[in-house]
Structure formats: C-alpha cells, structure tokens
Structure 1
Amino acid sequence: MLTLTDNAVQVIRDLTAQSSGSQDTGIRIASQADQAGSLVLSISEGPANQDQVIEVEGARVFLDPVAADALETKSLDADVDAQGSPSFRLAEQG
C-alpha cells in the first residue's frame, strides 16, 4: 500500500484545509484513461466509489484502482517551495 512521509502528511493537511475545511476532503490520485501510465493528482471532496482510502494523521489520499495498483510499493513525499507551491514525489518504499 502507498505510504506517506511526514512531509506529505503535513502538505496534504495544509492543502485540504485551505480548499474546503471539510473532514472528507483529501487528494485523489487517478489514472488517465487516454495516457497509459500517467497519473493525475487533484484535491477531492471525497473518494469515488472504487477508491482506496489512505488516512494518516488527518491526511487523506484517495487512489483509483489503477493508481492503487501502480503505487502499491511507493512512498509519497512532498515539499513546499519558497513561493508556497507544493510538489509531490514518488519513491520506492524502504
């Protein structure tokens, strides 16, 4: 299952708090049907029906089935640059 670094947890909590304040809000990682192997990350008000939900210390991540499969052995990390823009990275776990 996808794991989250401490930095990713903090960035996700900050992003979702700014966007709506709803406790169901999280980030969603989904496959793009027209581009095999591509994933898109967005802020979502809640998971879709088939989404896997990962929750760590209040940070919620929703993964569509294809993304959940592709990210099974990955870890999500995040940073915020000097202008306040977040960036996310995937790496192998461990």
Structure 2
Amino acid sequence: MLTLTDTAVEAIRILTDKPDVPRDSGLRIVHHDSAGGLELSIAPGPDAGDEVIETGGVRVFLQDTAAAMLGGRALNAEIAEDDVVFRITNPQGSGRR
C-alpha cells in the first residue's frame, strides 16, 4: 500500500481545503501507460474501483493499476509558496519515480 509522508498530507490538505473544492475531495492518482506515467489531480471523490487511503484527515484515490504499481512506496511532497511537487519514493531504498 502507498503511504503518505507528513509533508504529503500537509500538501494534500492545502490543495483540498479551498472554498471551491468539495469537502470529501482528495488527490487522485491514475496510471496511464507502460512507461510509468502517472497523473495526479484533485477529485471530488473516488471512481469505482479506486483504492482509498485516508491519512491525517486527507484522502488519496488510487486507480487500481496505480495502486498495484505504487504498493510499498511513499508519497512525499515539496511545498513552495505557490507550488506543490509530489514525489514517489521507495522507503526501502534511494530510488525515485
């Protein structure tokens, strides 16, 4: 299962705690191709078949293919003034995706 760092939780909270974002929204991660391309977006809720991760009061919706690909990995984030950058890391090693 994908885990979330404290910084990722804070970043997701920043993105979903806006007045124009529905209350039960979360970060949705979708895997599109064999090259490992991931799409991250704010979604109002999970799609059918999504795995839902709830940590620290935020939610992540993983498309089934993305969930299988990201098992055992961690979602981290870097937060700047007007920007959030998410990174997938392997907590067992130094590799990044």
TM superposition score normalised by structure 1? 0.89
Aligned twin of 2:91: 93
Match of 1:54 in 2: 53
Gaps of 5+ in 1: none
Q: How many residues align?
A: 91
**SS state of the match for residue 47, structure 1?**
coil
Q: Secondary structure at the match of 1:30?
A: strand
What SS does the aligned partner of 1:41 have?
strand
Rounded Cα–Cα distance in structure 2 between residues aligned with 1:20 and 1:65: 28
Deviation at 1:48, TM superposition (A): 0.1
1:22 aligns with 2:22: yes
Cα distance in 1 for residues equivalent to 2:11 and 2:72: 21
Contact 1:3 1:93 in 2 (8 A): no
- CA shift at 1:86, angstroms? 0.3
Mapping 1:57-76, distance limit 5 Å = 57-76=56-75
Letter of the structure 2 residue corresponding to residue 13 of structure 1? R
Dislocated runs of 4+, deviation >6 Å: none
**8 Å Cα contact 2:21-2:44 kept in structure 1:** no
Aligned to 1:45: 44
Q: TM-score, normalised by structure 2?
A: 0.86
Identical positions, percent? 43
In the alignment, does 2:9 pair up with 1:9? yes
| 1:21 Cα deviation after fit | 4.4
- Alpha-carbon contact 2:49-2:63 (below 8 Å) kept: yes
